[in-house]
Each structure stands twice: as C-alpha cells, then as structure tokens.
Structure 1
Amino acid sequence: MRDLPAGHPTRSPALDEGDRPSRSVRDAVGQDAARRGFSLDPGQAPAVEALDALAARLAEPSPGGLNGLYLWGSVGRGKTWLMDVFHATVGRLALGSGRGSGSGRGPGTRAVRVHFHDFLRRLHGERFHRGSIDAALDAILGDADLVCFDEFHVHDAGDAMLVARAVRTLDARGVRVVLTSNYPPSGLMPSPAYHHLFVPTIDLLTARLDVVEVGGHRDHRRAPSEDVAGFRGGSFVWPATDARLAAAGLDRPGPAEATTVRIGSREHPVLAVRGDVVWLGFGHWCAGRTAVSDVLHLAERFGTVVLDGVPALGAQAPDTGQRFANLVDVLCDGDVPLHVLAHQDPEETLRRHGEEGVALDVERTASRLALLRRLGPVALGR
C-alpha cells in the first residue's frame, strides 16, 4: 500500500444497483489465496461467508446504522487481508484514494478503508479545527456510506469518549461499517477504571453489527515468505555489531549526523537523516513524549525507518512499550521497511506479556516483528 499516501482513506468507486461485483467475495478470497500460495484456514470460513453476504446486500437500503460486521480474533489470523479483499471486491478491484469533500448521499455504495491509528489522529485534529464530530467525520470520510476500520481498539479514556461519539454519529447517519480487531467487543477499553464508561458503545456495536470470530491455530504472518518488499524488507538486529548492520545493509551514523525532524511546531531529535532513511533513538521515540501522529508523519515522509537502542520492554514503563507497539503498527500498516536494532533477541525484547510494564498490544507486535529478517548471534536469516 506504499503507493497510497498515508493519512488518506482508501476509497472504492460507487457500487450501484445492478452493478454489483462480477464475482463474490468468496471467489475473490479463494483466488487471492491461491495467488499467494496458501489455502484458506477453516477458522476464516465464517468471516468469508459473512463478508460475502454483506457485499451481496450493499445495493439494498440499510435497515439501520452500522449494519455490518465486527471481525475479531488473535493476531495473524488474516482479518486485515479478508477485509482488504472485501474492500477491493466492492470497489471492483479498482482502488482509489483521497478524501471526500461533502456529506451528501448519492446513489450506490461508496466505501473507504482506514487504519484506526490514523483515523484517531485525524479525528482529534479535525474535531479541534472544525469544532464538531459531524464536521470532522465529513472531512475524514466524506460521503462514504461503508467504512472499513482496520485494527479497531480503544485503550485510552480520552480516545474512548471521542470514539463513542463518532460511533453514535455514524449510526445516526446510517453508515455501514466493517471492523477488524484483536479484541472481542467486550474487551474494548479494558481498563477497569474506565471500561464501564464505554459499555454503552459496546452495546451499540453488538446490537448493530454481526460479531464474527476469525479463528484458527496458525499465525499466518509467521509463515515462510519470499516477499522481502516493504515492511518485510526490514530486519531485527541484535546486538547491532558492524558486521550485522552490514548484513542488513546499514552503516551506523556518527554523532555529527545527529539532527532534528520538524513535526508541527516541535523539533524531534533523530540520529541521522540519509535521503529517505531516518534513524531514530529509542529513548526519544518510545520512552519520550511522542504520539502516534508523529510516527504517522515519519511513515509519510520517509521510505525506511531504523530504530536504534531497543531494550527489553519488561523493564520499561507501560506507555514506553505501547509507543513501541504503535510504531511497529504504523510502519507495518504503511508497508514502510523497519530495522530494529536491539540489545536482545525479539523474544526477550517482548518478554513478560500481560504483566505490569508491557504494552497491551505486544502479541500483535511479536507477530509483526516475525515478518522481519532476523540477524542475531545464533544464526543469520529469518
């Protein structure tokens, strides 16, 4: 997806009555799986059937708002892939990009696909500048009446209130949605101190959407792959000796190369900028006061990101681990190559999942880091 500008929803053309896709989502999923060289997992079958049924009824009037699907399951089960095939099929495999400019409804279905990290960033910003949730959603989603949200999650109390208002607004507008998530609806906003505040939104989602688990026992991201483009073109290097850096095609910058990257009104320190490659220090970008929006800026501006000095997350503050997880999420979704230079192997880096001091989404992070080439002292290679 690197040919699409980060921060812009992916838009499919209108699907009018009598102009439905020439093949079903079920057929499209089977053909795409065959092209990629794998067979469908039985745990994916209920989601395929549900997406196929939704695509078949898109030209019909929606009986109510948010009439769509909530796809959830463990990391690497193919939720994003299935949603993307669905979106491509609805758009007759002719994806476009860009923001809508109005909120009026025309004939047919207009679908957009957004990553939830980016949606939250833009929702905060557009609401601040435009003064209302309605205007913010108009700016982000335009006249879409089907929205595909990838990696829907709610961890932060401030985000939860904003998401709740956005969900109610989309419901009132009669917009259909498809959500993918690592969490069942009841697992959203897991903090015991704030979960009860989000329960009305959870109830609305479960009442309006068909909730389908994408199961199976295999993390498909960990399957061997010859694809080394995009995010997969990165590496996990430990410890980062000159020889291992050279194997990854990297050369450590000297102190004189330290500079800053301006994002908004703030100058962020970086270890080096070499053309479209940016070297980041873990201390500032994960342990410092940075936001997802800062990483999204990097994904838009640079073609490769190197993150240096990554320690074991179990010894770090909870928000440090979450920033690391967010950075991996954003770059993986943007298909930007990431080189992680760590003091220890990936397992030790992410050890103690679920205990105090470790990011909530570290299981997904482990799955995504498994896509990277591993360059360590035991063996070189994936």
Structure 2
Amino acid sequence: MSHDNLKVFPSVRERYDALVHAGDLDDDPSQQRLASRFDRLIHDVATKRLATKSSALGWLFSRKAPRHEIVKGLYIHGEVGRGKTMLMDMFHQLVPVKRKRRAHFIDFMADVHERINAHRQALKKGETKQEDPIPPVADALAEQAWVLCFDEFTVTDIADAMILSRLFRALFERGVVLVATSNVAPDNLYRDGLNRQLFLPFVDLLKTHVDVINLDARTDYRLEKLNRMPVFLSPLDDETNRLMDEAWHAATDGATITQDSVKVKGRTVVIPHAARHVARFTFADLCSKPLGAADYTAIIKRYQTIFIDAVPVLDQPRRNEAKRFIILIDILYDHHVHVVISAAASPDQLYVAKSGTEAFEFDRTASRLFEMQSEDYLAEAGKLEPVAEARSAGI
C-alpha cells in the first residue's frame, strides 16, 4: 500500500483506521486510544496557534507564551515495537504547525551540545557578553520549532543529565510543546546514573508539562512481521532481492527512509538507508571500506536491526574484507542484533580459501550466521535498545 495515499485523512485516528482497513496493521485498542489522544493534542496545538495569531501582541511574545496558553505534550513509553514511533510520526505529519521538529533524542542533544560549545567560543572571542549559554540556545531552538517530537527519549550521559532541567525549563517557558517516545517511564530515566539526584528536578518538570502514557499494546508488531521472514537469503538473484525488500518494508513499517551517519573518533561513518531502529547496508559499505570494531559498535548503538545486501563468496585475495566481515558478525552476534542478510552462498560456503587465519576464523562466523537464524536467537534479538554514545562536556 502506498502511504502517500494517506494524506487525504485529516486525523491520526482516521489514518490509523485506514492502515487497519488496508491490512497493514492489526487493530489494537491501546493504539486506538493513543491515536485519539494525539488528535486531542492536535486540537490543543491548533487552538493555541490561532489564539496567538489573533492577538496583536501574540506575534511579539509568542516565544514566551503566557502561563494559561501552555499546552501539555505527551510522553509515551512502552516496550519495543508497540507502535509508539509510528503514531508519533503520524502526529508530526498532521499537526498544523510550520515550526515543528522531529528528531532522534540523541541527535537533538548532540545539536544542543554543539550550540553550547559554539556560544562558549563566541564568548571567548568577545562576540557576545552573555555568559550563560542556555537562554540563547533555548531561544534559537524555540524559534526553529515550538512543537518538538523526540524518538527514543533516553538519558545515559551525565552531560545530558546535567543540562536537561535548565534547558527544558527554558524551552517550556518559551511555549514549546514536547512529544516523546521512550522505552522507560519518566521516573526511570537516568536510573542508577552518576549524581542522579541532580537530575530528578528534570523528571518533576517533565511530568508537569506532559501527560505520561504507557502504550501497553498486545505484541511487538514489527518483530512479529519480521520474524515470519527468512533472515539469511541466497543465492543473489531477483527473488532474493525481492524478499530482502519485503523484509525491509516490514521492518521499517512505512517510516521515512533517510541517510544517517555516526561519529567515530572524529570520523564520519555513513548509514546509507535508515529508519527508526533499522539500517541497511551493502557488504561493500561495511567491509570494503577501512572500518573496524569501533565503527560497527557505533552503528549498533543506534540501530538494532541491520540489513546487509550482497555478501559475496570470499577468498584469499579478499582476506581483508573477510576479516572485517568476521569482526562485524562477532559484534552483531554478541549484541544480539537482528540481522537480515543476502549472500551468494550459504554461510559455510562463503569463504573458500583453505589456508590462513581467516579460513579458521570463518568457521566460527559461519556457525554464528546459522545460529542467528534460529528461533532462540530471534526471540532475544531486538530486546536490547540502542544506547547513546557517551560524550564528555563540561556542563
């Protein structure tokens, strides 16, 4: 079904019902209720926007909305694959606001830290006299978007934890409406983190400005679809390509596909195709380039389902690529990453050289590739969430 056709539906609930009617989704009461709640939030946001425009002073002071104009956002938590991101994306598409932003929370915080560092550099150069970077950063963020939608709201970094309370207090004072998905309830954010007591005021602030909803849907629909499909496909032919694309569509579930990147020790590793927790590469993307364990680990910190297209039969002249593939599979296996692979041959026929270290090591790789297709492995794969890369900053 072409999701472009859904543009005719004016509400999240109607868009959701259309997907159910088309057979793209199973009807779920919890998802129905959340869709309707998103529609109420759209109404509240639209009402605030119109009220602001109708006021002669609204244009002047819209960034610092009066207390009575505050709109409570939503914080939706629940287990992986329950439909949180899908419904939030529908809301983001439909909410009638030009200044809106949808971002992965890790990317948003990376942007915040870059803005803070840029302000501090400007202060050192005498380009500003404002010592506190939070107000101007909040001004710039609120000017860019007053409806913020975050996917995978999580706090694992002390630098983020120390800044969140002051930053979001400033954003809320400027009338920003927050919508976020997470795998944990607000009270469990930054649990067992260093100096967590300094983070707790943010939790109280957050719960004042959002309604907290636990999306307790029946099952992990994304993995349910994906686990019905083969995860190692060979040989490389049109049918294999078709099945890979079918599995990709099931895993991304209609989400927008974009190019992404991760920073590793000052270098940029490109993710050619990405949506939500799913990334897609060719073998050449991952193993014909000078990548190593740190690069692969950085990728799986953000993506828990990895597609790898066109793994060739390898031999002695391609031993460097074989070595990278061995390292890649070790990391994917150790972290229980869900993997979908198309290859020229079965796992035990992928490395044909009979001598050398790689020939010995590839026996383990083949064994792991077989195990990664097992029901036990697939039952565990996807349960662990990507974690934020640690950053250091003097906040």
Task: Give the counterpart letter for 2:285 in structure 1.
Answer: V
Q: Which residue of 1 aligns with 2:164?
A: 163
Q: Which residue of 1 aligns with 2:129?
A: none
The structure-2 alpha-carbon separation of the partners of 1:136 and 1:264, relative to structure 1 and needing over 3 Å to count, comes to: farther
Structure 1 residue 186 corresponds to structure 2 residue 187? yes
Q: Which residue of 2 aligns with 1:58?
A: 45
Matches within 5 A, 1:261-280: 266=266, 277-279=285-287
Q: Unpaired runs of 5+ in structure 2?
A: 1-7, 49-64, 121-132, 242-260, 271-280, 312-323, 348-364, 387-395
Matches within 5 A, 1:1-382: 23-35=10-22, 37-61=24-48, 63=68, 65=70, 67-91=72-96, 110-131=99-120, 132-137=133-138, 142-191=143-192, 193-224=194-225, 266=266, 277-279=285-287, 281=291, 283-286=293-296, 308=325, 309-310=327-328, 343=368, 345-346=371-372, 362-364=383-385
| CA shift for structure 1 position 80 | 0.4
Deviations 1:260-284 (A, max 9, x none): x9979945799xx999834375522
Name the CA distance, whole Å, in 2 between partners of 1:37 and 1:180. 22
3-state DSSP of counterpart to 1:211: strand
Contact 1:48 1:82 in 2 (8 A): yes
Larger RCO (CA within 8 A; separation ≥ 6): 1
Name the CA distance, whole Å, in 2 between partners of 1:201 and 1:126. 20
The structure-2 alpha-carbon separation of the partners of 1:130 and 1:222, relative to structure 1 and needing over 3 Å to count, comes to: same
> Which of the two has higher C-alpha Rg?
2
Q: Which residue of 1 aligns with 2:278?
A: none
| CA shift for structure 1 position 135 | 3.8
Name the CA distance, whole Å, in 2 between partners of 1:30 and 1:222. 21
Contact 2:149 2:178 in 1 (8 A): yes
The structure-2 alpha-carbon separation of the partners of 1:140 and 1:58, relative to structure 1 and needing over 3 Å to count, comes to: closer
| CA shift for structure 1 position 200 | 0.8
Name the CA distance, whole Å, in 2 between partners of 1:138 and 1:33. 41
Name the CA distance, whole Å, in 1 between partners of 2:161 and 2:379. 28
Name the CA distance, whole Å, in 1 between partners of 2:166 and 2:212. 21
Name the CA distance, whole Å, in 1 between partners of 2:136 and 2:284. 35
| CA shift for structure 1 position 351 | 9.6
The structure-2 alpha-carbon separation of the partners of 1:195 and 1:36, relative to structure 1 and needing over 3 Å to count, comes to: farther
Name the CA distance, whole Å, in 2 between partners of 1:25 and 1:269. 35
Contact 2:296 2:331 in 1 (8 A): no
Deviations 1:146-181 (A, max 9, x none): 111111111121221233332222111111111111
Q: Which has the higher helix share?
A: 2
Name the CA distance, whole Å, in 2 between partners of 1:338 and 1:127. 41
| CA shift for structure 1 position 117 | 2.0
Q: Which residue of 2 aligns with 1:375?
A: none
Q: Unpaired runs of 5+ in structure 1?
A: 1-20, 92-107, 229-234, 250-260, 297-302, 354-360, 366-382
The structure-2 alpha-carbon separation of the partners of 1:170 and 1:206, relative to structure 1 and needing over 3 Å to count, comes to: same
The structure-2 alpha-carbon separation of the partners of 1:266 and 1:304, relative to structure 1 and needing over 3 Å to count, comes to: farther
| CA shift for structure 1 position 184 | 0.6
Contact 1:147 1:176 in 2 (8 A): yes
Contact 1:312 1:350 in 2 (8 A): no
The structure-2 alpha-carbon separation of the partners of 1:22 and 1:278, relative to structure 1 and needing over 3 Å to count, comes to: closer
Q: Identity percentage over the alignment?
A: 26
- TM-score for both structures, normalised by structure 2: 0.55
| CA shift for structure 1 position 245 | 8.3
Cα RMSD for the two superposed structures: 4.8
Task: Give the counterpart letter for 1:196 in structure 2.
Answer: Q
Name the CA distance, whole Å, in 2 between partners of 1:44 and 1:191. 31
Task: Work out the number of aligned pairs and report it.
Answer: 276
